[in-house]
């Protein structure tokens, strides 16, 4: 595993996506936040 933080962010985003489809659509906000944090972690703080 190269970057443990990216793996954790990805897993949390997948969990939020699962909650979006099973419980309520508002959980998509959490998935978007973790996708954004993941992108910042992968591509650096520009």
Sequence spans of domains, the chain: 10-43
| Per-residue pLDDT, 45 | 66
In a 10 Å sphere around its CB, with 0-12 CB exposed, 13-18 middle and 19+ buried, how is residue 28 labelled? middle
| Per-residue pLDDT, 19 | 94
pLDDT tens digit string along 16-46? 999 999 999 999 999 999 999 999 988 986 5
| Per-residue pLDDT, 23 | 94
What is the average per-residue pLDDT within 11-18?
Answer: 94
């Amino acid at each position: 595993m190269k970057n443990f933080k990216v793996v954790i962010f990805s897993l949390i985003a997948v969990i939020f996506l699962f909650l979006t489809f099973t419980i309520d659509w508002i959980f998509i906000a959490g998935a978007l936040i973790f996708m954004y944090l993941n992108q910042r972690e992968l591509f650096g703080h520009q």
